[in-house]
């Protein structure tokens, strides 16, 4: 079957999405998605529920995850698709990654306390459905709730992005480890939302994609919630140059917090090889 509407990037409340996996699955189906992956940050805990509801609703489903990595000190996200979710290297690697997130979140809390905002880590935790998976999005939601800014983007802009008082450096996993875990588990590694890495120049991006490909990465998101039509053209050229398969994903987090809704995306440029072809 050739999918007419695949969406391989979105989040549930297992990471920093607002809706439980079953609700995200039903929403994807209602929006006409016919091949779907749930890609929570650094956690596989939603996949069983997502698959069951997706298949009940008539969608094809593949396992997904969005892994937080660093490359030359720059935080980057790599989506894994179609892997065996019981693979010990992948499961163990993600467990360590989540522990690192908790430690980082405490340091973020300390950094905010130092500018006169105590208790933010504890407050952010109350916004994390999964206490093992805490993200800057949970900090932002809690900080909006206590009136520090009027919305989540405002909190990111003034407190949670590089150079701002609540942002702390963190050692994520290496590109090599993330690709290694995904591919060893029989999956496909995909560069998430490439236009969002403002710290990478054009030549850095080309070097990154060269490393990604050399280490076994096989895909890149071309059509995604945060890409403009110009971004699509630009990254389609890079996908052709590096012979990468093309992915498509909304990066949906919740009805009020997303660029686009599940499945509501343009089609991929026709000549690109869609990444679903690599997934059994
Ligand atoms: P973390 O993985 O903890 O660094 O948090 C990153 C998450 O925060 C992303 O996956 C988004 O969900 C959210 N996020 C990042 N930047 C922004 C922004 N400028 N506005 C709103 N949400 C953002
Ligand atoms: Mn997120
Ligand atoms: Mn991301
Ligand atoms: Mn995402």
pLDDT in tens, 144-159: 999 999 999 999 999 9
Helices (H) and strands (E) in the chain, counts: 9, 8
Give the pLDDT confidence score for residue 1 in this predicted structure.
Answer: 79
Mean pLDDT, range 163-177, rounded to an integer: 98
Q: Which atom of ligand 1 is nearest to the CA of 157?
A: 19
> Does ligand 1 have an atom closer than 6 angstroms to the CB of 253?
yes
Separation of 237 CA from ligand 2 center, angstroms? 27
Residues of CATH 1.10.150.650 domain(s) within the chain? 98-160
Residues 252, 10 contacting (CB under 8 angstroms): yes
> Does ligand 1 have an atom closer than 6 angstroms to the CB of 68?
yes
- Residue 5 phi/psi, 5-degree rounding, is -150, 85
Using CA atoms, how far residue 60 sits from 29, 151, 239, 276, in Å, is 10, 35, 25, 11
Separation of 36 CA from ligand 4 center, angstroms? 14
Residue written as token pair 């407050």:
123
Separation of 13 CA from ligand 1 center, angstroms? 14
Give the closest residue (by CA) to ligand 1 atom 16. Answer: 156
For residue 266, the Cα-to-chain-centroid distance in whole angstroms is 19
Average pLDDT, the chain: 98
> Does ligand 1 have an atom closer than 6 angstroms to the CB of 138?
no
pLDDT band at 194 (very low <50, low <70, confident <90, very high): very high
Q: Which atom of ligand 1 is nearest to the CA of 135?
A: 3
Give the pLDDT confidence score for residue 256 in this predicted structure.
Answer: 87
Q: State in Å, rounded, how far the first CA of the chain is from the last one.
A: 12
- Nearest ligand, measured from the Cα of 13: 2
pLDDT band at 182 (very low <50, low <70, confident <90, very high): very high
Give the closest residue (by CA) to ligand 1 atom 8. Answer: 137
Q: How far apart are CA 82 and CA 65, in angstroms?
A: 9
Mutate to test the pocket of ligand 1, among 10, 14, 136, 162 (most ligand atoms within 8 A of CB): 136
- Nearest ligand, measured from the Cα of 193: 3
- Residue 224 phi/psi, 5-degree rounding, is -150, 165
Separation of 159 CA from ligand 4 center, angstroms? 20
Q: How far apart are CA 207 and CA 242, in angstroms?
A: 11
pLDDT at 212 over 90: yes
Mean pLDDT, range 185-200, rounded to an integer: 98
Q: Which CATH superfamily is domain 6-94+172-278 in?
A: Metal-dependent hydrolases (3.20.20.140)
Give the pLDDT confidence score for residue 258 in this predicted structure.
Answer: 87
Give the closest residue (by CA) to ligand 1 atom 21. Answer: 153
> Does ligand 1 have an atom closer than 6 angstroms to the CB of 156?
yes
pLDDT at 216 over 90: yes
pTM value > 0.95: yes
Residues of CATH 3.20.20.140 domain(s) within the chain? 6-94+172-278
Count of Cβ atoms closer than 10 Å to residue 4 Cβ: 11
Fold of 98-160: DNA polymerase; domain 1 (1.10.150)
Mean pLDDT, range 258-271, rounded to an integer: 96
Per cent of the chain over pLDDT 90 is: 98
* pLDDT tens column, 79-114: 999 999 999 999 999 999 999 999 999 999 999 999
> Does ligand 1 have an atom closer than 6 angstroms to the CB of 153?
yes
Give the closest residue (by CA) to ligand 1 atom 14. Answer: 137
């Amino acid at each position: 079957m050739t999918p007419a509407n695949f969406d391989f990037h979105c989040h549930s409340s297992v990471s920093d999405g607002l809706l439980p996996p079953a609700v995200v699955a039903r929403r994807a189906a209602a929006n006409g998605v016919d091949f779907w992956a749930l890609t929570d940050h650094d956690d596989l805990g939603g996949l069983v529920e997502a698959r069951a509801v997706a298949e009940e609703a008539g969608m094809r489903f593949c396992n997904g995850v969005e892994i937080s990595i660093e490359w030359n000190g720059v935080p980057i996200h790599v989506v894994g698709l179609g892997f065996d979710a019981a693979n010990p290297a992948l499961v163990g690697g993600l467990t360590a990654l989540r522990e690192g997130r908790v430690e980082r979140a405490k340091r973020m809390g300390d950094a905010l306390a130092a500018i006169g905002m105590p208790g933010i880590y504890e407050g952010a935790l109350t916004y994390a459905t999964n206490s093992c998976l805490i993200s800057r999005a949970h900090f932002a939601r809690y900080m909006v709730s206590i009136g520090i800014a009027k919305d989540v983007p405002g909190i990111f802009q003034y407190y949670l992005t590089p150079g701002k008082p609540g942002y702390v450096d963190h050692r994520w996993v290496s590109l090599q480890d993330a690709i290694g875990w995904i591919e060893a588990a029989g999956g496909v590694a995909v560069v998430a939302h490439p236009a969002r890495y403002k710290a990478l120049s054009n030549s850095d991006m080309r070097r990154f994609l060269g490393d990604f490909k050399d280490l076994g990465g096989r895909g890149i998101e071309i059509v995604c919630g945060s890409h403009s039509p110009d971004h699509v053209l630009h990254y389609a050229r890079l996908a052709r140059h590096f012979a990468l398969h093309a992915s498509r994903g909304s990066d949906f987090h919740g009805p009020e917090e997303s660029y686009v809704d599940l499945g509501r995306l343009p089609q991929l440029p026709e000549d690109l090889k869609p990444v679903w072809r690599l997934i059994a």
